[in-house]
Chains A and B, each alone.
Chain A
């Protein structure tokens, strides 16, 4: 059981690092551009809420591992966190207010910083792929995005929006 608790302490600290980096980014952003969203007490509160929702999502995901339905076991943690957040934000507008004091773009910069570091050892794997596959990749990415955008555009038009 102590091992189990240690795991959550570790997740908690990593999430603390994550929200800490967001706070830092938002501060830097407002230094660079005074018109951007300032860091306020509500921002810190919002970051606390994000931390809490993430922890709850991790907990739910762990509980769901015991489910007998494969689909539920395989459902990503990212999804559980979104659902947790959606439900709690629907219940109380307080969460919405707090979270919206956190600047969206300030959340993305630290994530992509870590994404860049995380792929450092995979750059060599690029040699295993060919230019043909790279060209296919461009079409595959274009296909999924443009395909969805076309259908969405058509749907919105038919819905009269």
Chain B
């Protein structure tokens, strides 16, 4: 086994230890409080130490090309045990979930919010074709594939979706772990927020649902059950929502908003 790989493992253990010892921190901001979980510290530490200014000498061995490639290539496999856990959360509550099954399906349509809220703002800021790529969805693999097939990734649309992809990859988990408790404090029901966490990205969903669990620990099993059922549904229906609803709706709004300017 490569020596650098051992550094990677030791580094991961150290980061986990530090993040867990910092623990859950609640930071009040005005009348809100933002809860920061160990997972937020873990991603923040690893991202900051990965900045190129730090990557000298020993750090260069930890963040070697092979190690970074390993992490990005196999992140999905590292994530599999989390997905395997969700069965155990959903199974005991399957009856209840099926009972409100139609609510799960309806909230999928909420993912059109990317077009309804994002597109007008993007047009207002002066973006045009980039906006198509940037607001079709949250820029995960599904949207990347769709946009690159339809417009190629070198097009303006492609640049838009790639930008969202990059921003989401870097900050999505942090964003959702802060945003979902804020909605909770605005008066949303925790069950509704749990259902909404199935946005189609594993790390964003885990960050959002984990921060809800931290706020309402008594509801842990319900939160995780709803979150994972919704995530699973998004992986089934997400493509259809995008192709048959989001994309046509986007074209309609786009044409309406940019009419007469060329």
Binding site for B on A (CB under 8 A): 11, 14-15, 17-19, 21-22, 24-25, 28-29, 32-33, 47, 49-51, 53-54, 57-58, 71, 74-79, 81-90, 95-96, 99-100, 102, 104-105, 107-126, 128-130, 132-156, 159, 161
Q: Are B232 and A83 in contact (CB under 8 A)?
A: yes
Q: Are B170 and A123 in contact (CB under 8 A)?
A: yes
Select which of B12, B80, B113, B239 is within 8 A of A144 by beta carbon.
Answer: B113
Select which of A76, A112, A159 is within 8 A of B203 by beta carbon.
Answer: A112
Q: Is residue B16 contacting chain A, with contact meaning CB distance below 8 A?
A: yes
Main secondary structure on chain A at its contact with chain B?
helix
In the complex, how many angstroms separate the beta carbon of A69 from the nearest chain B beta carbon?
Answer: 12
Q: Which residues of B contact A58 (CB under 8 A)?
A: 77, 80
Interface CB pairs A-B, < 8 A, 17: A14-B77, A28-B20, A54-B77, A77-B76, A85-B83, A90-B91, A107-B206, A119-B72, A119-B169, A135-B125, A136-B131, A140-B138, A146-B117, A149-B188, A152-B103, A153-B192, A155-B102
In the complex, how many angstroms separate the beta carbon of B37 from the nearest chain A beta carbon?
Answer: 7
Q: Are B117 and A142 in contact (CB under 8 A)?
A: yes
Q: Are A132 and B160 in contact (CB under 8 A)?
A: no
Select which of A19, A53, A128, A136 is within 8 A of B122 by beta carbon.
Answer: A136
Q: How far is the CA of A21 from the CA of B80 in the complex (A)?
A: 13
Q: How far is the CA of A6 from the CA of B124 in the complex (A)?
A: 53
Per-residue CB contact flags for chain B residues 113-133 toward chain A (1 = under 8 Å, else 0) read 111111001100111001100
Given contacts A78-B235, A82-B228, A137-B171, 8 further A-B contacts (CB under 8 A): A76-B235, A89-B87, A116-B42, A137-B164, A139-B118, A142-B179, A149-B107, A155-B106
Select which of A51, A54, A135, A154 is within 8 A of B83 by beta carbon.
Answer: A54
Q: Is residue B144 contacting chain A, with contact meaning CB distance below 8 A?
A: no
Q: How far is the CA of A11 from the CA of B166 in the complex (A)?
A: 26
Select which of B79, B84, B180, B208 is within 8 A of A111 by beta carbon.
Answer: B79
Total residues of chain B contacting the partner, CB 8 A:
125
In the complex, how many angstroms separate the beta carbon of A82 from the nearest chain B beta carbon?
Answer: 5
Q: Is residue B88 contacting chain A, with contact meaning CB distance below 8 A?
A: yes
Q: How far is the CA of A99 from the CA of B83 in the complex (A)?
A: 12
Q: Which residues of A contact B115 (CB under 8 A)?
A: 143
Q: Is residue B224 contacting chain A, with contact meaning CB distance below 8 A?
A: yes
Q: Which residues of A contact B224 (CB under 8 A)?
A: 104
Q: Which residues of A contact B88 (CB under 8 A)?
A: 85, 89, 95-96, 99-100
Q: Which residues of B contact A130 (CB under 8 A)?
A: 163
Would you list the 6 A-B pairs with minimal beta carbon distance, nearest first?
A: A85-B87, A147-B113, A116-B46, A148-B110, A120-B50, A143-B113
Which parts of B158-216 form the interface with A (CB within 8 Å)?
A: 159-160, 162-164, 166-173, 175-176, 179-180, 183, 188-189, 191-193, 195-199, 202-203, 206-208, 210, 213-214
Q: A81-B83, A119-B170, A126-B166 known; A114 and B71 CB under 8 Å?
A: yes
Q: How far is the CA of A50 from the CA of B75 in the complex (A)?
A: 16
Q: Is residue B262 contacting chain A, with contact meaning CB distance below 8 A?
A: no
Q: Are B138 and A57 in contact (CB under 8 A)?
A: no
Select which of A96, A125, A153 is within 8 A of B91 by beta carbon.
Answer: A96
Q: Are B81 and A15 in contact (CB under 8 A)?
A: yes
